[in-house]
Amino acid sequence: MNPQLIRILMILVLGSSGMNLLAQQYLEDEEDGVRLVDVTTLDTNFVLDIRYATTNNFTEKQMYECGRCYLREPVAQLLIQAQQEFMEMGYRIKLYDCYRPRPIQYKLWEVVPDARYVARPWVGSVHNRGGAVDLTLVDSVGQELKMGTDYDYFGAEAHQDYTDLPEEVLRNRALLRDILKKYHFSPIRTEWWHFDYNKNKLYPLSDLVWDCN
């Protein structure tokens, strides 16, 4: 559905509360050249499970005040195209993490100071640019496809090149990789769930934090 039409419908249905909800459709900092969009305002078919907005993550601490998925607009549009192809197969994308404010990167590094799994905050993560997504797939009833490990599992079993896994898991991982590669997302070696937009270096790092009110 057209994003502008979605905005109009939400305002008509929700009134002033709809206006408040849409107030943070975009995160912007013109001086730093940052413009991020909440992907769920462009496509409502995504399933959100933003783990750092809960204690169900490797830090066992809530890092975000609330769960949102912001990305650079070109990245969001490509992810929507990938979502549409997955939906033709009966699947949907579940999002674990998207744009990550850089202050949170420092907190994650304090817990796991290991560059294989957490980017050095002074260098920055592609998440801090709004150009990376952590995700998986769910079926028509919302059940996650088997990927061999949980999200943010720090071990060889989560690596892309680890093959001592059931055939179903290998097929699911291959499906995720193959479709996302078609839309200019590249996997990283140590995390089956993490994909970077190929042109992410176009975007600066950002400290912007979304409003949860």
3-class SS at 3? helix
User: Residue 148: CA atoms inside 13 Å, Cβ hemisphere, count?
Assistant: 24
| CA dist., res. 166 & res. 90, Å (int) | 22
- Tokens for 1, please give them: 């559905």
Q: What is the pLDDT of residue 142?
A: 96
pLDDT digit string, tens, across residues 151-186: 999 999 999 999 999 999 999 999 999 999 999 999
Q: In what order do the strands lie in the sheet with 34-38?
A: 26-29, 34-38, 70-72
Res. 81: pLDDT tops 70: yes
Based on the number of CB atoms within 10 Å of its own CB, is 88 exposed (0-12), middle (13-18) or buried (19 or more)? exposed
The fold adopted by the segment(s) 26-202 is: Muramoyl-pentapeptide Carboxypeptidase; domain 2 (3.30.1380)
Helix orientation angle between 73-88 and 167-182, rounded to the nearest 10 degrees? 130
d(CA 54, CA 43): 23
Based on its alpha-carbon atoms, the radius of gyration of the chain, rounded to whole angstroms, reads 17
Question: Taking Cα atoms as reference points, which of 84, 8, 13, 102 lies closest to residue 43?
Answer: 84
Q: What is the pLDDT, as a whole number, of residue 22?
A: 53
Structure confidence by residue, pLDDT tens digits, 30-39: 777 789 999 9
Averaged pLDDT of the chain:
89
CA pair distance 56, 63, nearest whole angstrom = 10
Q: Quick one: tokens of 26?
A: 């975009």
pTM for the full predicted model: 0.86
The encoded tokens of residue 190 equal 């140590």
Confidence of residue 117 (pLDDT cuts 50, 70, 90): confident
75/145 Cα distance (integer angstroms): 24
